[in-house]
Amino acid sequence: MNDDRYTVISADCHAGADLLDYKPYLEKRHHDDFDAWAATYVNPHEDLLADCADRNWNSERRLAELEADGIVAEVIFPNTIPPFFPSGSLMTQPADPEDFARRWAGLRAHNRWLADFCAAAPGRRAGVFQILLGDVEEAVKEIRRAASAGLKGGLMLPGTPPGSGLPELYSRTYDPIWAACAELGVPVNHHAGSASPPLGEEPAACAVFMVETTWFSHRALWHLVFGGAFRRHPELRLVLTEQGSGWIPGVLDMLDYYHGRLVAAGTKADTAEARFGAGLAAGMGATPSRAWRENCFVGASFMRPHEVPLRDRIGVDRIMWGSDFPHDEGTFPYTREALRFACAGVPRAELAAMLGGNAARVYGFDLALLDPVAAKVGPRVAEIDEPLTEPPADATSPVFARGASVRVW
């Protein structure tokens, strides 16, 4: 942070190559298959067909628009469709081994493209790379390769929803992944929407998705906690992004309750609950709330007014604000207004940590490089401290939605 401006790092942005631009990043043996796939592929996402779609891959436009919005650096999650995928879903494993191998090739192509995209703006981008969970050995190889290529955003962890055919995230099957991430200092990111099962095309499907999607994403927290991943790999860091943050205090209280109850029951062999707690204390170690304080963070995308007063219970040092650029629900081009609407009155040091300092620490951004940029384009401290009572008329972010100041769990 400068004397009068905040250094803002968005912990949640999205990007990806235009469809045909992935081809040079594929091994040549996949080029014919790619041509055949691309010739018949119909993109299911309207925002990737619109005139603004190039915000995903146009480096100069992206830098200019983010700077105009007061943001000097970004953590980049995927957005466009990788080669050989029907959509962006990484969960369901294809039954055909050749299709599985092609999808791995597609993800590697995305990761290679992303490394080049980040290198086009040195120190300004931390790319989040992708893996599949169906082959842990290959996943570990890609973690090491992506980290060596400079993708500082870390790993995007797919979910294991019902029907995925994958072991649950608490399974020790994934220990080599946690071990590699802990060793290399690679954050494990779990983004909303990356764990929901398919819901079909009924009229209620979208509403049910909205109700359930964050819950399915939250599951990663209690799976890794109760599965003992943080006890076995104390350097492991989990980031839960675009899942809200207001739920965290209540869920930690609930998890601590079950932890205490089951650990106690596990010591009493004559009780009905004993079988539920057997071995739990030795397996997971500390309480869930302690695991949160030591190993976990929240990518608090478009943080809402009801969430900000909970920052002490969540942990000011655990919160990383995100704009969700270039999505419609993101704060662009009204990031300053969104911050005024939600964060006016927050002490300067606390807000500086949530807007950039914490993300710099987790993702390895150099504030000495970013602060001079922020001195020119960052939101002014006095400006953000002035409450905004009337949202912009054409704003689309949920920050400004009716009920945004009401607690929603």
Domain coordinates of the chain in residue numbers? 8-400
- The total of other beta-carbon atoms located within 10 Å of residue 312's CB is 9
Question: Which residues are 239's β-sheet partners?
Answer: 189, 297
Q: Do residues 400 and 341 lie in contact, with contact meaning Cβ atoms separated by under 8 Å?
A: yes
Query: Per the structure block, which two tokens stand in for 232?
Result: 């076995």
pLDDT for the residue 386: 97
> pLDDT tens for residues 375-408?
999 999 999 999 998 999 999 999 998 665 443 3
| Superfamily (CATH H level) for 8-400 | Metal-dependent hydrolases (3.20.20.140)
pLDDT for the residue 88: 67
pLDDT for the residue 51: 77
Q: Do residues 276 and 376 lie in contact, with contact meaning Cβ atoms separated by under 8 Å?
A: no
Please give the Cα distance from 251 to 393 (Å, whole number).
35
One digit per residue, the tens of pLDDT, for the chain of length 409 reads: 678 999 999 999 999 999 999 999 999 999 999 999 999 988 777 777 677 899 999 999 999 999 999 999 999 999 998 999 987 667 666 668 899 999 999 999 999 999 999 999 999 999 999 999 999 999 999 999 999 999 999 999 998 988 888 999 999 999 999 999 999 999 999 998 878 888 888 889 889 888 888 898 999 999 999 999 999 999 999 999 999 999 999 999 999 999 998 888 767 666 667 677 677 777 887 899 999 999 999 999 999 999 999 999 999 999 999 999 999 999 999 999 999 999 999 999 999 999 999 999 999 999 999 999 999 999 999 999 999 989 999 999 999 986 654 433 3
φ, ψ at 307 (rounded to 5°): -85, -35
Query: Per the structure block, which two tokens stand in for 55?
Result: 């915000």
Q: Do residues 223 and 133 lie in contact, with contact meaning Cβ atoms separated by under 8 Å?
A: no
pLDDT for the residue 409: 35
Burial 154-184 (b: 16+ CB within 10 A, else e): bbbbbbbbeebebeebbeeebeebbbbbbee
